[in-house]
Amino acid sequence: MEGAYITGFGEHLEKESKLSFFELFAKASLQALDSSGLSLEEVDGFVMATATNTIEDPPIRNLLIDQVSSYIGLNKLEYLELVDIGGSSFNAMIFRAYRAIRDGLATSILVVGGGKGTIRKKSSRADLVTRYSFKPHEFTEYSPTSDYAMIALRYSHEFGVGDEKRALIAVRERGNAKLNPNALYREPIDVKDVLNSPMVSYPLRLLECTRPIDGASAFILTNKEKSKKGKYYPVKVLGYGEFHDPRPIIERESILLNPVEVSSRKAFNLSGIKSEEIDVFMLYDAFTIMVMLEIEGIGLAEKGKAWKFVEENDFSPNSPFPINTNGGTLNTGQPAYMSGGVILTEALRQLNGVASGRQVEGANKALINGIGGILNHSTTIILGV
């Protein structure tokens, strides 16, 4: 797959920021532009994503993409798109930007997403998500924790997997977080610590759930001619796949239907790459149960056997299967209830050899999987240098 390259990336994350929604997007975007070597005037496309109620009141969401692009200083664009599939949006945005450049619709595209996760509970319109949704009883007011708790409980029931197996995922990721100076949580933990942490929604404990934070992640894609201007290696899109099931989980045949199986199969088939050729795996980890499902979905373990894979592999940069080398969003935090930008940025650091203290030696292929909603969306992208 030729035609467009990721040549710049930027990120601004804070536990709770005094910056506005617009300032967060601008900070990350300017970082991405600086690393790409492109000027703002050279950007002729813009793709963005955010989550409901992660922006201050006002402004209203109507034509929000116009407000953001104008604030950043992007005018007279050839290509514009808003993506709204939750945490899986980032991979989808990268692919849509890639395709637009490949097809000649633009030459250089800024991709940015995020928001203020810490204000969602404070919003005067927080209850509108519930009150005016198509099926309001299907939506929790602030987060999908209870839904993923049901999925975790069903998984344990069907496959006879104890809570300590999920807890080990949190321990593995914390082991990587101690190598990341920008992680929120770096203190070592063990399985007992996870199981003794406060119950959030049975059976998920506090240390199995990510923390909403404020921030944004931004990326620059450009054509081959301009791809050598930046400070980083031009990163290629080698494969991509997506799958969507918009139904609420109670309307599905099984709440364990795994969209990752389809999206990852498409990405592997398109790239011609096998899982054993991947050097770094960045898996969406808002909750530990997600990682178990993704390990199985991308083919690292048989269905119901992810716990065995986790027992045998420590996820570290030196292991055969480096997973979430930055500690994942379990330890870095989740901007605007979307983890996709954080794990994508870490993959790009690894491919460029700038993941200081946690670098995977010789990393040249990375797989990033994003999940949106309650297993409603899965996007899998394979990148390489």
Could you give the residue ranges of the DSSP H alpha helices within 82-127?
Answer: 89-102
Q: What secondary structure letter does DSSP report for 323?
A: B
Instruction: Report CA-CA distances (Å) from 87 to 170, 275, 324, 379.
Output: 19, 22, 15, 9
Give 211-251 pLDDT, tens digit per residue. Answer: 999 999 999 999 999 999 999 999 999 999 999 999 999 89
Predicted structure pTM score: 0.94
Distance of CA 286 to the CA centre of its chain: 9
CATH number 3.40.47.10 is the correct assignment for the domain at 128-211+236-384: yes
Whether 94 contacts 186, CB under 8 Å: no
In which region does residue 327 sit, left (phi positive, over 0), alpha (psi from -120 to 50) or beta (all else)?
Answer: left
- Assess contact for 169 and 211: CB atoms under 8 A: no
User: Could you tell me if 260 and 87 are in contact, meaning their C-beta atoms sit under 8 angstroms apart?
Assistant: no
Domain positions in the chain are 5-124+213-222, 128-211+236-384
User: Quick check: helix, strand or coil at residue 112?
Assistant: strand
Domains 5-124+213-222 and 128-211+236-384 share a fold: yes
Q: pLDDT tens digits, the chain, 385 residues: what are they?
A: 568 999 999 999 999 999 999 999 999 999 999 999 999 999 999 999 999 889 987 656 689 999 999 999 999 999 999 999 999 999 999 999 999 999 999 999 999 999 999 986 565 444 544 444 555 444 444 458 999 999 999 999 999 999 999 999 999 999 999 999 999 999 999 999 999 999 999 999 999 999 999 999 999 999 999 999 999 999 999 999 999 999 999 899 999 999 999 999 999 999 999 999 999 999 999 999 999 999 999 999 999 999 999 999 999 999 999 999 999 999 999 999 999 999 999 999 999 999 999 999 999 999 999 999 999 999 999 999 9
CATH for the stretch 5-124+213-222: 3.40.47.10
Q: Which pLDDT score, from 0 to 100, does residue 136 have?
A: 47
Q: Write the burial class of residue 137 (CB in 10 Å: 0-12 exposed, 13-18 middle, 19+ buried).
A: exposed
